Chains A and B, each alone.
Chain A
Amino acid sequence: MDLGRLLQAMVERGVLLRRIMYVVLAGLVIADIVVPSKYDRFPWESIGGFGAFYGFISCVLIIVVSKALGYLLLYRSEDYYDE
């Protein structure tokens, strides 16, 4: 199917896509710093690029905390409930 080939072609140009993504990410942060903040209900809303920082930190925190909970407390073998 053509759609499948199109996707495959995109995957094969992964390096290019990644570079485009870097530009987009940088552009976003710059835009957030340049565009005057619309909200000031919380102190961090007027810090340019705080969303980027918070997104990255959230992601790392979620993975680390969840995996830690998994290994320390929650993970069981797949046949844990079968007996």
Chain B
Amino acid sequence: MSEVLHPSILLFTGALVVAVLRGRLQQGVMLLVAAALIWLVFSLPSGVFGATEFLGIELSPMRVDKLSLVFASVFAIITLVGAIYALHVKDTPQHVAALMYAGSALGVVFAGDLVTLYVFWELMVFTSVWLIWCRRNPASMAAGFRYLLVHALGGIVLLAGIILYYLDAGTVQFAEIENTGLAFYLILIGFLLNAAVPPLGAWLADAYPESTVTGAIFLSALTTKTAVYTLIRGFPGTELLVWLGVVMALWGVVYAVLANDIRRLLAYHIISQVGYMVAGVGMGTIMALNGAASHAFTHILYKALLFMGAGAVIHMTGRAKLTELGGIYRYMPVTFLLYMIGAFSISAFPLFSGFVSKTMVVEAAALDQRAWVWLLLSLASAGTFLHTGLKLPWFTFFGPDRGLKPREAPLNMLVAMGIAAFFCVFIGIYPQWLYAMMPATVEYQAYTSGHILWELQLLLFTGVGFFVLLKHVGGEPKISVDTDWVYRKAMPAIAGGIQRVGGAAWQAMLGTLMHKLTALVTSVSAHHGPQGILARTWPTGSMVLWVAILLAASLLIYYL
């Protein structure tokens, strides 16, 4: 770009430098790049930069406007938080992948056309998968390959959509997608897959819990939220999304009840929270879209905080299951308290960030008189507090004492969590800071007596329900099947069946052929073989005899 530096270029260059450095120098450069990114993003002027024409297609690789800046700002903050959280990690591929991944996500957010968007979209997949593989165990290798395949498929659908859209609409500019038929739906499916909308969302809860402790912070923040950005930009007011969003919010809640792995529980609550954003996009009113964007902003911060808290527990205890954890609050009190700030934020307690964003989406449903949407999103809200605010911390930090005596998490992890926690409280107390960034003017009052009383009652009485049913809500040493069952069990079983049946048929066909072939060979060898009638030697004597007979016959015929 001639006029301004594209943030992705900063991060890609930074990743290259980080790749060749080691030790303190590497840590320093990581922090420097992340800090420079925040400065760069917060000082970007609005406008379209580097517009060019390629093969007759108008490309605008960098478009800066309010909507893209909302997401870019929070991506930049979380890149710094994630870099600090991962500072102790001595694993260069992870650091490089994380920076490249963040750079790719920013590339999507700033892409002014669908071609640029597609390039960065695919780059996100190939950079993020390393954050899963770098856990370096068989489960993460397998989960990483599934993640890659699912996203590769989603990418193909998206590409097909973009090409068709170009043929239909004659443009690849990324604005609201016109409903031209198939192209509209293909692009939508591509976006929905990355937003982890059921039934296309099982990759998230499959892969994220298998990622590295520090990689999960980047994963939880970037992929689904870039997808939310693309939905806000491309599909505002698509009615279908309202109901997909509601289903999503509840889907995540149900699976979180069943989850035993703490990061899988949190992963399902990403799906649940993104449901609010998707529903907001579907409603499409100014308040709903502002709500979706601000909820994405707060969500990235509190969800990263929650993943950092869970990651710190896994890092210090080596355990990740509710049924194996318990009683460690005395040993990790700072981690516990910081985690709880994230938990209060995601649950939308007043004075915490979720309250000023989630209630905006719910309020938008009320203004639209969508009673069912309102009730079901409120129900999901109760579920959020139930799992993230009660079940997970109770059975991880309190609950039965398993004799674990971990030390407190390392300082860099606590500092990273502290920064995220600061933003969660700051936004909760001073929502105007967040609202000022929104694409449209926010005319929403979060702190009214009505909202506060409703939310507090809803959440605290959810707490009553939790303690009443305490015996039944703990984790169980089981896993629950999601739609990834289709490609992890059903399709392999079908393929196995095809292999077995097909193999048997092939063998049978070969058998029949062999039989015929053998018969043929036998008959040929009977005539032509060493003992065959046609292979006998012809004695010269019989030849002379035959010649004599023929001569005699011709003589006879001559005289006749």
Binding site for B on A (CB under 8 A): 1, 3-8, 11, 21, 24-25, 28-29, 31-32, 35, 37-39, 41-42, 45, 49-56, 58-63, 65-67, 69-70, 74-78, 80-81
CB of B469 within 8 A of CB of A63, answer: yes
CB of B481 within 8 A of CB of A70, answer: no
Interface-side segment among B240-248, B445-453, B546-554? B445-453
CB of A24 within 8 A of CB of B460, answer: yes
Question: Does B535 interact with chain A (Cβ within 8 Å)?
Answer: no
Which 8 pairs from chain A and chain B are nearest by CB?
A: A59-B465, A51-B457, A38-B450, A66-B257, A55-B461, A58-B382, A55-B458, A74-B480
Q: CB < 8 Å: which of A31, A54, A63 contacts B257?
A: A63
Task: For A5, list chain B residues within 8 Å (CB).
Answer: 330
Q: How far is the CA of A39 from the CA of B449 in the complex (A)?
A: 10
CB of B453 within 8 A of CB of A3, answer: no
Interface-side segment among B3-11, B39-47, B371-379? B371-379
CB of A62 within 8 A of CB of B379, answer: yes
Q: CB < 8 Å: which of B333, B398, B468, B472 contacts A67?
A: B472
Task: For A25, list chain B residues within 8 Å (CB).
Answer: 460-461, 464
Nearest A residue to B250 via CB reads A62
- Complex interface bits, B381-413 against A, C-beta within 8 A gives 1, otherwise 0: 011001000000000001000000000100000
Q: A51-B461, A76-B479 are in contact. Are A42 and B366 (CB under 8 A)?
A: yes
B455 to chain A minimum Cβ distance, whole angstroms, is: 8
Q: CB < 8 Å: which of A28, A53, A74, A80 contacts B460?
A: A28
Question: Does B106 interact with chain A (Cβ within 8 Å)?
Answer: no
- Complex interface bits, B218-258 against A, C-beta within 8 A gives 1, otherwise 0: 00000000000000000000000000000000000111011
Q: How far is the CA of A38 from the CA of B450 in the complex (A)?
A: 6
Residue from A6, A58, A81 with most neighbouring chain B CB atoms (10 Å): A58
B122 to chain A minimum Cβ distance, whole angstroms, is: 27
Task: For A61, list chain B residues within 8 Å (CB).
Answer: 379
> In the complex, which range does the number of interface residues on chain B fall in?
35 or more
Q: How far is the CA of A16 from the CA of B379 in the complex (A)?
A: 30
A59 to chain B minimum Cβ distance, whole angstroms, is: 3
Task: For A3, list chain B residues within 8 Å (CB).
Answer: 333-334, 337
Q: How far is the CA of A41 from the CA of B369 in the complex (A)?
A: 7
Q: Is the interface of A mostly helix, strand, loop or mixed?
A: helix
CB of B460 within 8 A of CB of A41, answer: no
Q: How far is the CA of A78 from the CA of B476 in the complex (A)?
A: 10
Task: For B479, list chain A residues within 8 Å (CB).
Answer: 75-78, 80-81
B322 to chain A minimum Cβ distance, whole angstroms, is: 13
CB of B462 within 8 A of CB of A58, answer: yes
Q: A28-B457, A55-B461 are in contact. Are A70 and B383 (CB under 8 A)?
A: no
29 sample A-B contacts, Cβ–Cβ < 8 Å, listed by A number: A7-B333, A8-B329, A8-B330, A11-B329, A28-B456, A28-B457, A31-B453, A38-B448, A38-B450, A41-B366, A42-B366, A50-B457, A51-B454, A51-B457, A52-B457, A52-B460, A53-B461, A56-B464, A58-B458, A59-B466, A60-B465, A60-B468, A62-B382, A65-B254, A66-B253, A67-B258, A69-B258, A74-B480, A76-B479
Q: A63-B469, A69-B254 are in contact. Are A37 and B450 (CB under 8 A)?
A: yes
CB of A41 within 8 A of CB of B367, answer: yes
Interface residues of B in 185-207 (CB under 8 A from A): none
Binding site for A on B (CB under 8 A): 253-255, 257-258, 329-331, 333-334, 336-337, 366-367, 369, 371, 374-375, 378-379, 382-383, 386, 398, 408, 448-450, 453-462, 464-466, 468-469, 472-473, 476-482, 488-489
B389 to chain A minimum Cβ distance, whole angstroms, is: 12
CB of B457 within 8 A of CB of A55, answer: yes
CB of B461 within 8 A of CB of A7, answer: no
B372 to chain A minimum Cβ distance, whole angstroms, is: 11
CB of B254 within 8 A of CB of A66, answer: yes
CB of B461 within 8 A of CB of A56, answer: yes
Q: A55-B465, A58-B379 are in contact. Are A4 and B477 (CB under 8 A)?
A: no
Task: For A8, list chain B residues within 8 Å (CB).
Answer: 329-330
Q: How far is the CA of A13 from the CA of B371 in the complex (A)?
A: 42
A22 to chain B minimum Cβ distance, whole angstroms, is: 9
Task: For B369, list chain A residues within 8 Å (CB).
Answer: 41
CB of B386 within 8 A of CB of A62, answer: yes
Task: For A69, list chain B residues within 8 Å (CB).
Answer: 254, 258
Nearest A residue to B257 via CB reads A66
CB of A59 within 8 A of CB of B453, answer: no
B382 to chain A minimum Cβ distance, whole angstroms, is: 4
B327 to chain A minimum Cβ distance, whole angstroms, is: 10
Task: For A59, list chain B residues within 8 Å (CB).
Answer: 382-383, 386, 461-462, 464-466, 469
Q: How far is the CA of A56 from the CA of B462 in the complex (A)?
A: 5
Q: How far is the CA of A73 from the CA of B517 in the complex (A)?
A: 53
Task: For B480, list chain A residues within 8 Å (CB).
Answer: 70, 74-76
Task: For A31, list chain B residues within 8 Å (CB).
Answer: 453
B237 to chain A minimum Cβ distance, whole angstroms, is: 20
Nearest B residue to A79 via CB reads B479
A17 to chain B minimum Cβ distance, whole angstroms, is: 12
Q: CB < 8 Å: which of B334, B378, B461, B473 contacts A63?
A: B473
Q: How far is the CA of A24 from the CA of B382 in the complex (A)?
A: 18
Q: How far is the CA of A34 from the CA of B264 in the complex (A)?
A: 42
Nearest A residue to B374 via CB reads A42
Q: How far is the CA of A8 from the CA of B481 in the complex (A)?
A: 38
Task: For A11, list chain B residues within 8 Å (CB).
Answer: 329, 398
Q: How far is the CA of A25 from the CA of B461 in the complex (A)?
A: 8
Task: For B482, list chain A residues within 8 Å (CB).
Answer: 74
Q: A31-B453, A38-B448, A76-B481 are in contact. Are A55 and B462 (CB under 8 A)?
A: yes
